[in-house]
Structure formats: structure tokens, C-alpha cells
């Protein structure tokens, strides 16, 4: 008998990241996630995920310069964006936008390891511009060019909101990007690796990953968590909300995990961030609502929060519209997805699992006139 959902099945080897679900620990290339969240920048983490070591100053400067120089969208993408802004949801825009970014990529059909790396970095560089351009267009605001003086996270806030971001806000966003950066063989990463394993191209692999992330059981959960907090409205309503949902056998979004059996270590960092940010911006109610949901869901169902619960609160207070929270997850995960795709190419065998046939056997063809 196969385990439904491939749970516990080891689908491949990786040096990118590792999880201990029982202990609630996560490492990127051997570095504990809490250590990276407290000390690294997202750009350093991009380098770490791709090279399995932290960059020295020269390596980091080179990577940062490449990312900054690749932020602009091609004229082809810019032409597509007004239609996408009017006709598609944010994640559908991203799926189409990333696919369309393959046109005019300077490396074209070059599939060498060097070209794949450059394509990966271009995808990381352009994702914030795609999301911000989309949002500015759909809200009738002027599209802002990337600011080469700002790091990845701060530049995104600038392009999205049109104001030089507060340093603390930019640092908070940067930390969330680190936390969302990679997560072993999750559904979207597995999707990307399956596509890469056929020796299809980087853009196809990442487009497929975005499709997998879009679902509410995966990346879509942060948006659902924020909607839930808004519906709950006050901490004292959390208990009845959770009780009602569980009685109807409905999921509480932002809780539970396929691997963690205790607190998700990313949620622990985000919980503290959500509390501090709420105090700083004068909106402590979000932390209080989420904390009340956490206490009551643990008590009633024994479930712990995952990364998406408190991330939603942090993003909300940073001014991120709710329907851009999953695209932000994608913006961060672009680092991990592309690292996994390159790792797959470097040591490839086509991924082709077996299946357990549970239908009828030994049947004989019956002409259509004789069928009931
Ligand atoms: C993440 C998720 C898909 C993992 O699913 P999974 O591996 O099948 O979960 P488990 O096997 O641990 O589930 C154990 C039990 O808890 C229930 N459960 C799990 N997550 C739940 C949730 N968020 N709310 C209510 N019940 C939940 C399951 O239905 C199952 O119940 P049962 O034993 O009565 O059938 C699931 O927890 C979920 O849907 N969470 C909400 C969406 C979310 O936050 N996703 C983001 C993940 S980072």
C-alpha cells in the first residue's frame, strides 16, 4: 500500500535545505533558519541556496549587481502587463508573466549550467517588478521603475507602494523572504524538479511551480489566514470561530503541516515579528487575534501554526494587499525553486514514480451494441 500524498517518501537527494519535522527545525545548506533570519540578507540567502556556502564580500557584490541590473521587464512583458492586470488574478499573472519572461531572455535556448544560473537570477530579479507593475496598473497608479540603490526587499516595497520604505519595514520584509526562501520537497518544488527532470527548461519548471503554489493548501494559505483574521475581528471571537469550523470539518488556514509535528520554526520567528511590528505601527490587534487563534486551535485540535499564519499578519501591517501575499511567497521561493532546478539538472534522472492500480482487471472488450 502506498502512503496517500507520497507522505514520508524520499523523492530525491538535496543539499539545498533540510527539515526535522519532529523537532521543528529547518536548515538551508546546514544553517539553522533562525540564525539566517536574524543575521543574513535575502541576497546572501539566494547565494547560499545556489552555492551551498555563504558568499564572501566580492561574491555578494557580484550577485547583488547582477540582480539589480536585471530588474527591468522586457518591452514584451511590459506590453502584456496591462491586459494581465485587468484580466487575471495575481497568481495567474505571475504564472503567465514568468512563462512570458522566457521570450527575450538574453540566454535564449542555451541550456548550459552557466546560462541556467543567469536565467535563475533573472527570474529572482524580475519577480518583484512583475508583481509591483501588476498592482500599480490594476489600481490605476503610475508604474515605478526599480530603484538600483535599494536592496531586493526594499526595492519591492518602493515599486509597490511608491514611497521610500521605512528601514524597519524593509528589514521585516527581507526576513520574511528569507523564511519563505526554501522548504525541501514541498509540492511546488517537487513540481519544479519533476519538470526539470524531463530536461525541460528553467521557465517551464518555475511556471509549473507557481501553478502548484497557487492552491490554498500550499501558498494560498497566507491570504486565507488574513481573511480569517479579518472575519474573526476580535481575539475573543477566536474560540467560537475555531469551534464552528472544526464542527463543520473545515480547515483552519495557516495551521497544520505535512512535515512539522510541532511549531514550524519559521512561524516562531514570524510570531515575534508580528508582535513587534504591531507594537511599532500601532496595530497590536492582529497579533492578538492570531495568537488567540493559535491558542484555541492547539487546544481544540492539537494543531500548530505554520509559516503562513503570522506571515499574513506581518504582510498586512507592511501594507501588502491580501491577494498579493501568495505572490510574495513566490517572490521569495523563486530562490529555492531555481536552486532545486539547477541541482536537478546537475544530477538528473527523470522522475517517474510508480502507482498502485486499484481498478478492475482481466476484462474483455465488449462491442458497443452488447453493452448495458
Ligand atoms: C498543510 C496541510 C495540507 C497538511 O495536510 P496533511 O499532511 O494531510 O495533514 P495531517 O495528516 O497532519 O492531518 C491530520 C489531521 O488534522 C487535520 N488537519 C490538518 N490541518 C488542519 C487544519 N489546518 N485545520 C483543521 N484540520 C486540519 C486533518 O484533516 C487530519 O484530520 P483527521 O485525522 O480527522 O482526518 C494541512 O495541514 C492543511 O490543509 N492546512 C491548512 C492549509 C495551510 O495552512 N497550508 C499551508 C501549509 S505551509
Indicate if the pLDDT at residue 1 is higher than 70: no
Could you tell me which residues come within 8 angstroms of residue 133 by beta carbon, excluding any fewer than 6 positions away?
73, 78, 81, 85, 143, 159
Tens of pLDDT along 39-84?
999 999 999 999 999 999 999 999 999 999 999 999 999 999 999 9
Tens of pLDDT along 7-31?
888 989 999 999 999 999 999 999 9
Tens of pLDDT along 169-186?
999 999 999 999 999 999
Query: Pick from 346, 321, 56, 21: which is nearest to 199 by CA?
Result: 346
The reply to whether ligand 1 has any atom less than 6 angstroms from the CB of 213 is no
The mean pLDDT of the chain is 96
User: CB of 51 within 8 A of CB of 337?
Assistant: no
Atom of ligand 1 at shortest distance to CA of 250?
25
The reply to whether ligand 1 has any atom less than 6 angstroms from the CB of 183 is no
Q: What's the CA-to-centroid distance between 256 and ligand 1, angstroms?
A: 5
Structure confidence at residue 30 (pLDDT): 98
**Rounded-to-integer distance, Cα 107 and Cα 117, Å:** 10
Q: Whose CA is nearest to atom 15 of ligand 1?
A: 256
**139 against 1, higher pLDDT:** 139
Indicate if the pLDDT at residue 282 is higher than 70: yes
Residue 3 pLDDT class (50, 70, 90 cuts): confident
Tens of pLDDT along 127-170?
999 999 999 999 999 999 999 999 999 999 999 999 989 999 99
Atom of ligand 1 at shortest distance to CA of 183?
48
Q: How would you class 280 by CB atoms within 10 Å of its CB: exposed for 0-12, middle for 13-18, buried for 19 or more?
A: middle
Q: Whose CA is nearest to atom 2 of ligand 1?
A: 257
Q: What's the CA-to-centroid distance between 251 and ligand 1, angstroms?
A: 7
Predicted TM-score (pTM) of the model is: 0.96
Q: What's the CA-to-centroid distance between 295 and ligand 1, angstroms?
A: 17
Tens of pLDDT along 196-214?
999 999 999 999 999 999 9
Say what angle helices 265-281 and 307-317 make with each other, to 10 degrees. Answer: 20
Indicate if the pLDDT at residue 95 is higher than 80: yes
Strand duo 17-20 + 31-32: pairing? unpaired
Q: How would you class 97 by CB atoms within 10 Å of its CB: exposed for 0-12, middle for 13-18, buried for 19 or more?
A: buried
Question: What percent helix, strand, coil does the chain show, rounded to 5?
Answer: 60, 5, 35
- Catalytic residue numbers read 257, 308
**Rounded-to-integer distance, Cα 121 and Cα 280, Å:** 34
**Rounded-to-integer distance, Cα 347 and Cα 283, Å:** 49
Helix (H) or strand (E) holding 274: helix 265-281
- For a pocket test of ligand 1, which of 186, 190, 256, 306 has the largest count of ligand atoms closer than 8 A to its C-beta? 256
The reply to whether ligand 1 has any atom less than 6 angstroms from the CB of 105 is no
The reply to whether ligand 1 has any atom less than 6 angstroms from the CB of 254 is yes
**Rounded-to-integer distance, Cα 189 and Cα 208, Å:** 9
The reply to whether ligand 1 has any atom less than 6 angstroms from the CB of 221 is yes
The reply to whether ligand 1 has any atom less than 6 angstroms from the CB of 306 is yes
Structure confidence at residue 260 (pLDDT): 95
Q: What's the CA-to-centroid distance between 108 and ligand 1, angstroms?
A: 42
Structure confidence at residue 328 (pLDDT): 98
Amino acid at each position: 500500500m502506498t502512503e496517500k500524498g507520497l507522505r514520508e517518501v524520499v523523492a530525491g537527494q538535496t543539499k539545498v535545505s533540510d527539515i526535522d519535522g519532529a523537532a521543528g527545525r529547518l536548515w538551508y545548506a546546514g544553517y539553522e533558519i533562525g540564525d539566517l533570519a536574524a543575521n543574513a540578507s535575502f541576497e546572501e540567502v539566494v547565494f547560499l541556496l545556489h552555492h551551498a556556502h555563504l558568499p564572501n564580500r566580492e561574491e555578494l557584490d557580484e550577485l547583488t549587481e547582477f540582480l539589480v541590473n536585471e530588474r527591468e521587464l522586457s518591452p514584451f512583458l511590459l506590453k502584456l502587463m496591462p491586459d494581465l492586470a485587468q484580466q487575471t488574478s495575481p497568481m495567474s499573472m505571475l504564472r503567465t508573466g514568468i512563462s512570458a519572461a522566457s521570450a527575450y531572455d538574453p540566454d535564449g535556448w542555451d541550456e548550459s549550467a552557466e546560462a541556467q544560473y543567469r536565467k535563475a537570477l533573472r527570474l529572482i530579479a524580475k519577480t518583484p517588478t512583475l508583481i509591483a507593475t501588476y498592482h500599480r496598473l490594476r489600481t490605476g497608479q503610475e508604474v515605478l521603475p526599480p530603484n538600483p540603490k535599494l536592496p531586493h526587499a526594499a526595492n519591492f516595497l518602493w515599486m509597490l507602494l511608491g514611497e521610500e520604505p521605512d528601514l524597519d519595514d524593509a528589514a521585516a520584509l527581507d526576513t520574511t523572504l528569507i523564511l519563505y526562501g526554501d522548504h525541501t520537497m514541498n509540492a511546488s518544488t517537487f513540481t519544479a524538479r519533476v519538470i526539470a527532470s524531463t530536461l525541460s527548461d528553467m521557465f517551464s519548471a518555475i511556471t509549473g511551480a507557481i501553478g502548484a503554489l497557487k492552491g490554498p493548501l500550499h501558498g494560498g494559505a497566507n491570504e486565507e489566514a488574513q481573511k480569517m483574521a479579518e472575519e474573526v475581528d476580535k481575539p475573543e471571537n477566536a474560540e467560537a470561530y475555531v469551534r464552528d469550523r472544526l464542527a463543520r470539518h473545515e480547515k483552519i488556514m495557516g495551521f497544520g503541516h505535512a512535515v512539522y509535528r510541532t511549531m514550524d520554526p519559521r512561524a516562531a520567528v514570524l510570531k515575534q515579528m508580528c508582535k513587534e511590528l504591531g507594537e511599532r505601527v500601532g496595530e497590536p490587534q492582529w497579533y492578538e487575534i492570531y495568537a488567540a487563534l493559535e491558542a484555541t486551535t492547539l487546544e481544540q485540535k492539537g494543531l500548530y501554526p505554520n509559516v503562513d499564519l503570522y506571515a499574513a499578519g506581518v504582510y498586512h501591517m507592511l501594507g501588502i494587499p491580501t491577494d498579493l501575499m501568495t505572490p510574495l511567497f513566490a517572490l521569495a521561493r523563486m530562490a529555492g525553486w531555481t536552486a532545486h532546478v539547477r541541482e536537478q539538472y546537475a544530477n538528473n534522472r527523470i522522475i517517474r514514480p510508480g502507482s498502485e492500480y486499484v481498478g478492475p482487471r482481466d476484462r474483455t472488450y465488449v462491442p458497443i451494441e452488447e453493452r448495458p
